Amino acid sequence: MSLNLALVIRPGALGDALLTLPALKALSLSSVQPAILGTPASWAFLGQDKMPVLDFSSGEWLWLFSGGKKPGTKTQDLLARCKAAIIYLREAEAAAGALRGAGLKTIICAEPPLLGDATLSPHAARQLLEPLRSWLPEETLRQAWKHCAENADVFGAVEELERERVLKKLEWAAPPPFLCALHPGSGGRNKCWPAKNFARLAAELSGRGFLPLVFFGPADGEVQKEFEAALKPGTLWRRIAQWPLREVFARLTLCRFYIGNDSGLSHLAARACPTLALFGPTAPSRWKPLGENIHVLQGPEGKLNQIEVEKVAACGLRIARK
């Protein structure tokens, strides 16, 4: 493990992890290796051995919030290798004090963005990047933002062998030429375009020669039922449910485009293929995915169900032709 680490405390879901990429890129541009203390499942999209990911919920880290306790030997060894800690927590004082007591001198505390934050606030990923300004050069932050906004490859490039494995799992010798991806779910139902609309969209795309891969995550059970109940008979599609996140990422790289809600998977898709994100009450200026080929449709007055299926299909087809 590198002797030039920064401990980045960032628990949360997949979208939270992906929004942190510009900050991690800034660290790497400064020859500092991030060590993530977070939710391991949310970081499973990373390439193998790209960076250490430690479990925030593990008993090894209870000392951060239990005054007076000391870290174990293994954790002490890790902290001895750290130049700094970046804490993305609402209440960071206890953790900051514990880390100072463990010998860390450079500690940056930054409140993570919340959905209720003002619409005029900066993009959530920029909010996570900005606190590093007190430690890293301005030019480094600028380069990190530009790289993440314009390039797909950030810490997790999918290798050809990984693509071959997912093709084998799907029992395909080669990817069909007109694959597209849909994700009807999200972390909150108020951010979900109606599942019946996704069913109509899948039928429309299927009728135009595309094969939709429809992704469902662990929290998408009800959405999946609604989608499948509304699906037009004869629609050609493939269900991708409960796949490992890294395999989902590999699968997305083979698609001509992706359409989904304001969700963590949409942020991941943006690193893999052209992406259309559907927004309702949340602000795209603050929460849209970062990437080089991102498109957004927002419902009138934040009402997702007011976005017409025909409009979404037409936008997807335009993206596919580019």
49: left (phi over 0), alpha (psi -120 to 50) or beta: left
Which of 122, 150, 178 is where one domain is finished?
Answer: 150
| Domain end position, chosen among 118, 150, 182 | 150
The per-residue pLDDT for 215 is: 98
pLDDT of residue 114: 83
Please tell me the predicted confidence (pLDDT) of residue 189: 85
Statement to judge: residues 21 and 115 lie in one domain: yes
Give the mean pLDDT per block of 10 residues along the chain (322 residues): 83 96 95 96 86 94 86 93 96 94 94 71 93 96 92 79 94 92 92 97 97 94 96 96 94 96 96 96 93 94 95 96 82
Q: Are residues 16 and 135 in the same domain?
A: yes
Per residue in 106-135, pLDDT tens?
A: 999 998 998 765 456 799 999 999 999 999
Cα–Cα distance for residue pair 241/220, rounded to 1 Å: 9
Same domain, 220 and 145: no
| Domain hosting residue 124, numbered range | 5-150
DSSP 238: E
Query: Do 26 and 168 reside in the same domain of the chain?
Result: no
24/9 Cα distance (integer angstroms): 11
Of the candidates 188, 248, 264, the one whose C-alpha atom is nearest the C-alpha of residue 213 is 248
Residue 303 included in any domain? yes
Nearest residue to 284 via CA among 265, 305, 309, 267: 267
What is the pLDDT at residue 47?
Answer: 78
In this prediction, residue 117 carries a pLDDT of 59
CA angle 45-49-54, nearest 5°?
A: 75
Residues 145 and 239 in one domain: no
118: burial class by Cβ within 10 Å (0-12, 13-18, 19+)?
Answer: exposed
Q: Where are the alpha helices (DSSP H) in 88-244?
A: 93-101, 124-129, 138-150, 160-169, 195-207, 221-230
* Nearest alpha-carbon partner for 239 in 207, 43, 231: 231
Q: Specify the number of domains making up the chain.
A: 2
Query: What pLDDT does residue 151 have?
Result: 75
Q: What is the pTM of this model?
A: 0.94
